[in-house]
Amino acid sequence: MNGSGAVARYTLLELSRRRILLVFFIIGAIGIIALGGGLKVLYQVAASNPQSFASGSVDAATFNHFLELLFVSYVFQALAIFALLIAYAIGMTAIYHDLDSGSAVSIFSKPISRLAFAAGKILAAIVGLIVIVGLLALEARAVMFLFGGGLENALTGQLLAVVANAIVVMLIVLSVSTWINNILAAVVTFIYYNVVTGIIATVHMLADGGLIGNAAVRNVFDVLYWLVPHQLVSSAIRDLAKAQIEIAGGATSNQALASVPAPSGAGDIAWWGFTVLAFAGLVYYAVRRRQV
């Protein structure tokens, strides 16, 4: 589209000069190294003590595997949090700053359509998010070499899920911040996406797991569930929970895993695609209606 490439290019250049993204990235990067290094030191301390693995309840390999599991599950949480922070940081500024500063006045007087502008902004926001979260994930992947390995695919799957979820949040913030103040937009998005949707998804999951008996409640939440965006979940979350239970010596059952989200199915992924299109459409609509 005419002009959307230029909008995307210069929005990315601006993002790369924004200190807050750099700060998020550095904190994330240091956190991952510290976490991996710390767990590895823990292992070394345990291994250097001959008594540690003598009793026979855990051998060195199992312990190492356990630490790696621990690391990966923390990394999953950290990636999800940082992806969300970065999605908010980009979503709150990519379009809003142009509107708030008045830059949009000069930009919109140029021969660029609002569609091309919105497309360029969305493209830049998504690329920015993927680059930052991707670099953090690469770093986590490198740290995993410290351990035995074997969980790399889990990391990739979870990375995809985390980025996919963050894109939805970012598009919501982008569109809402085109109408209202960006801090309000973040609050509105947080309430909609992280609170309301979170509650609906959790109740729906519990109902699916058989923990809610009342059929009427189950039906209501079945309907609500398909009115809100779905957080995508990779199979890694359940695999990890299963492995942790096994390492602790327990037996895995459906009951024990009921509160651990099941991997997203094709329906959820299709629904995700639909929500991305819908919210991208909303961004365009907001940009188009906007007077500056």
State the residues that interact with another protein by CB under 8 A: 2-3, 5-7, 9-10, 13-14, 17-18, 97-98, 101-103, 105-113, 116, 291-292
Which tokens belong to 118? 């919105």
Cβ proximity to another protein: between 5 and 261 the closer is: 5
CB of 200 to another protein, least distance (A): 36
CB of 153 to another protein, least distance (A): 38
Q: Mapping DSSP to helix (H, G, I), strand (E, B) and coil, where does residue 113 land?
A: coil
E strands in 170-258: none
Helix, strand and coil in the chain, % to nearest 5: 80, 0, 20
Cβ proximity to another protein: between 51 and 109 the closer is: 109
Cβ proximity to another protein: between 4 and 264 the closer is: 4
Of 235, 216, 225, 92, the closest CA to residue 151 belongs to 235
Cβ proximity to another protein: between 105 and 223 the closer is: 105
Cβ proximity to another protein: between 17 and 55 the closer is: 17
CB of 34 to another protein, least distance (A): 30
CB of 86 to another protein, least distance (A): 17
CB of 97 to another protein, least distance (A): 7
CB of 8 to another protein, least distance (A): 11
Of 15, 89, 94, 8, the closest CA to residue 286 belongs to 94
Cβ proximity to another protein: between 17 and 227 the closer is: 17
Which is it for the CA torsion 61, 63, 65, 67, positive or negative? negative
| HEC sequence for 131-178 | HHHHHHHHHHHHHHHHCCCCCHHHHHHHHHHHHHHHHHHHHHHHHHHH
* C-beta of residue 78 within 8 angstroms of C-beta of residue 32: yes
